[in-house]
A and B are shown apart, each in its own frame.
Chain A
C-alpha cells in the first residue's frame, strides 16, 4: 500500500519535472524571442564595444549550438546562478532573494484572506441558493472577478489611504506590525478578485454535491442537517482544493500589478522593471521561479488527493 502510494507520488513528481524541463526550454527561448541580436540584448544599454560583445559571446557560449547554450544556462540555473542583471550589473540570484519577502507576505496574506472569506461565503450562498443573501454575494463575486486588481487597488488607495487616512499610501514600513499594516491594502486588493473566484468555485462545488442522491438519502434516513452539511463539504473538498491550487497561478499574475500600484519592492515590481528594461536574465529567472512554484503547487494538489479522495488512493494502489 505505502509502496504503491510512494510510486504514485514519484510518478507525479517525475511528470512535474518533465513539465518544468520543457518550461525551462521555453523560458530560455525568451532570450531568442526578443528582437535584435542576443549579445546586444544581454549587454543592454551599456556601451556596446566590439570587445564587450565578444566577451558576452564567450561568456554565454553564444557561438555554440542552441541546445548546448541551453544546457549551460540550465546547469547554472539549478544551482541558483541565473547570471548577472543587465540593469544593476549584480547577480540575479541574490536580487531575487532580496525581493521575495514582500511578495511572499503579500501573496500569502491575500491567499489567506480570500480563502477565509471566500470558502465560507461560497458555502453559505450554496446552502441558501436563490435567496437574497445568495443573490447579493453572487453579484458581488461577479464584480470581484471582473475587477482588475490594480483598479481595485487604486480605489482602495484613494478611499482608505488618501481619503480616510487609515492606511499608509506607499512603501513597506519598519518592523513587523508596521510592515503588516503596509501590506493590508495591497493584500486586500489582491484578495478581492481571488476571493471572488473562491466564492464562485466553492458555491458551484457545494451546489453540485447538494444535488446528489446521497444527500437525499442522508436526509431520508434522518441524519441531521449539520451532519448532511459535513457530508457535503467533505465531498466538495476535492474540487475546492483543486481550484485553490489553480489560484496560486492567478496570484502571480495579479501580484505584478498590485506591487506596481502600491510601489512595493517585490518580485512583481522587479518583473515589471526588468521587462520594461529588457533585463532578460532577470526575466528568465523570475519566469522559471514562478513556473517552479506553480508546478510544485499543482503537484501538491495532486498528492493531496491521496489524502482526501479514497478513489484516487485506490487507483494509485491498483496500478
Chain B
C-alpha cells in the first residue's frame, strides 16, 4: 500500500508550539543571564536556608542563601549552550565520517565501524563520568568529551542513511555521468539525509542536556558554585526537608527543557518524513 498522504487535515501543531515557547524562554534566560538574574550568585549566609515565599525570595534560598529563582534562571545558560555544542559537534563528526564511510566503504568504513563498536560497548554516561572525572573538571572539557562519546552513534546513523541512498538509481546515474565523488556525497546524498540528521540533532540536544546535568549532579563538569541545574539538584538533595523547591525547581526545569526538545524533535522528524514521502 502506498503511504497515506494526509494533506488536507492538518491541525495546528499545539505541542510543537508549546515546546518552542518553552525553549525560547530558556534561550532568553541563557542569553540575558546577566540582565535577568544579576543576583544569582549573591550569597546571604546570615539568612541561611529559607523556604518559599519569604519576601525577596519567592522560591526560597539554598544552603548558601542564594535565591533559587535567580539561580535557576541563570542555570539556563549551561543547560542550553553545552548540549547544543555537543549535539552539533558530534553530528558534524557523524556527517563527515559517516558519509565517507557509507559512500566509500573499504578501510575508512572498517575503521569507523570499529571505532563506533568500541565506544558503544560502554554506556556513554558512564564513560563520560570516568573520563570527565579523571581528565579534568572544566565545563567545556566535559563538552568535548561528550562530543567524542556521542559521535559514534551519529556516525552509525549517517552511515546507515548514506548506505541506503548509495544504491539508488539517482546516485548510480551520477556515478556513470562521471560526477566527482565528493560532489555526489555532499550535493546529492547529504541533502537527502537532512531529515534524519536534523531530527537526531534535536534528540541529541536533549540527551546531552541529561548527560551534562548528570555529570554536574555528580560534581563533574561545571565548577563548584556555578549556576547549573544539575549542581543545584545535587545541593538541593540535602535540603529536601528545609526547602524542597531547591531541588524540585531545577529538577522540573531539566525535565521540562529536555521534554520540549524531544517533542520538537519528534514533530520535526515526522514533518520532514512526510515531506520526503510527499516527493
Contacts and interface: CB of A to CB of B under 8 A. Distances in A.
The answer to A–B direct touch (Cβ < 8 A) is: yes
Q: State the majority secondary structure of interface residues on A.
A: helix
Contact of A148 (B15, B126, B129, B210): B210
Contacts of A291: 121-122
A139 B260 CA distance: 11
B224 to A, nearest CB: 12
Nearest to A211: B1
Contact of A250 (B123, B258, B263): B123
Given A154-B236, A250-B123, A253-B124, A275 B134 contact: yes
A249 B126 CA distance: 9
Interface residues of A, number: 49
B15 to A, nearest CB: 8
A261 interface: yes
B230 to A, nearest CB: 8
A169 B131 CA distance: 31
Nearest to A155: B251
B19 to A, nearest CB: 10
**Which of B120, B121, B258 counts the most A-chain CB atoms under 10 A from its CB?**
B121
Contacts of A22: 114, 118
**Which of A139, A146, A216, A283 counts the most B-chain CB atoms under 10 A from its CB?**
A146
B129 A256 contact: yes
Nearest to A36: B134
A154 B123 contact: no
A276 B262 contact: no
Interface string B236-279: 11001100100110111011001101110010000000000000
Interface residues of B, number: 47
Contacts of A148: 210, 213-214, 217, 254-255, 258
Contacts, number: 137
**Which of B213, B217, B237, B244 counts the most A-chain CB atoms under 10 A from its CB?**
B217
A30 B127 CA distance: 11
Q: State the majority secondary structure of interface residues on B.
A: helix
Given A145-B262, A162-B240, A150 B214 contact: yes
B218 A260 contact: yes
A23 interface: yes
25 contacts: A30-B130, A35-B136, A142-B262, A142-B263, A143-B259, A145-B262, A146-B255, A146-B261, A147-B254, A147-B255, A147-B258, A148-B210, A148-B217, A158-B248, A213-B1, A253-B124, A253-B125, A253-B126, A253-B214, A257-B214, A257-B217, A272-B129, A276-B219, A280-B134, A287-B122
Interface of A: 19, 22-23, 26, 30, 33-35, 139, 142-143, 145-148, 150-152, 154-155, 157-158, 162, 211, 213, 216, 249-254, 256-257, 260-261, 271-272, 275-276, 278, 280, 283, 287, 290-291, 294-295, 298
